[in-house]
């Protein structure tokens, strides 16, 4: 059950680009249904608070089919939470267990910022809470979307070093 929930958080964050802590705070009222010229879409709308100044950024990202499947899976639950609560303290551990359990253990090269050298590690060793957000941003960037759009989708400002850290997965 805990691994299923960790997987669902990863899928959800990979689909809309939010942080796991933000996903845990979303409620059903954060999902907005729009009808634009007969095309019905569902978006998740929320406000990010980040940085030392706690700047607030409005995020309005579409829910793709993967995110909708996750949301619909938990729609029956009582209360207003969009997803069941998960312990953020255990989330990284659960992701590592999940990756190992399902065989996502291939060798990958990572750059160690402390030593300035590449290392070979297994994918399950580096699975972390921000993997979903990084996957989302990398996919959006690699799809050729204009920089102004993906910075708005992520809540970052154009040409910040923070944004480039996410686009490495």
98-117 pLDDT per residue, tens: 999 999 999 988 888 888 89
The CA-CA-CA angle for residues 144, 146, 149, to 5°, reads 120
**Across all residues in the chain, what is the average pLDDT?**
84
pLDDT at residue 58, rounded to an integer: 84
147-162 pLDDT per residue, tens: 766 666 666 666 666 6
| Sign of the torsion formed by the C-alpha atoms of 124, 145, 154 and 84 | negative
pLDDT greater than 90 at residue 59: no
Output the pTM of the full model: 0.82
Residue-wise burial string across 54-88, b where 16 or more C-beta atoms lie within 10 A, e elsewhere:
eeeeebebebeeebeebbeeeeeeeeeebbeebee
pLDDT band at 60, cuts 50/70/90? confident
* Residue bearing the bigger pLDDT, 15 or 140: 15
């Amino acid at each position: 059950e805990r691994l299923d929930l960790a997987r669902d958080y990863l899928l959800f964050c990979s689909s809309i680009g939010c942080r796991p802590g933000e996903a845990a705070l979303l409620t059903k009222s954060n999902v907005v249904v729009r009808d634009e010229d007969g095309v019905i879409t569902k978006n998740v709308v929320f406000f990010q608070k980040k940085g030392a100044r706690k700047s607030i950024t409005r995020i309005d990202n579409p829910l793709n089919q993967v995110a909708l499947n996750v949301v619909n899976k938990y729609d029956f639950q009582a209360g207003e939470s969009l997803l069941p609560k998960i312990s953020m303290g255990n989330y990284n551990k659960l992701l590592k267990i999940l990756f190992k359990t399902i065989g996502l253990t291939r060798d990958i090269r990572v750059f160690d910022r402390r030593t300035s050298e590449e290392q070979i590690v297994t994918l399950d060793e580096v699975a972390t809470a921000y993997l979903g957000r990084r996957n989302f941003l990398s996919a959006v960037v690699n799809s050729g979307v204009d920089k102004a759009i993906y910075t708005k989708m992520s809540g970052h400002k154009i040409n910040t070093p923070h944004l480039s850290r996410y686009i490495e997965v």
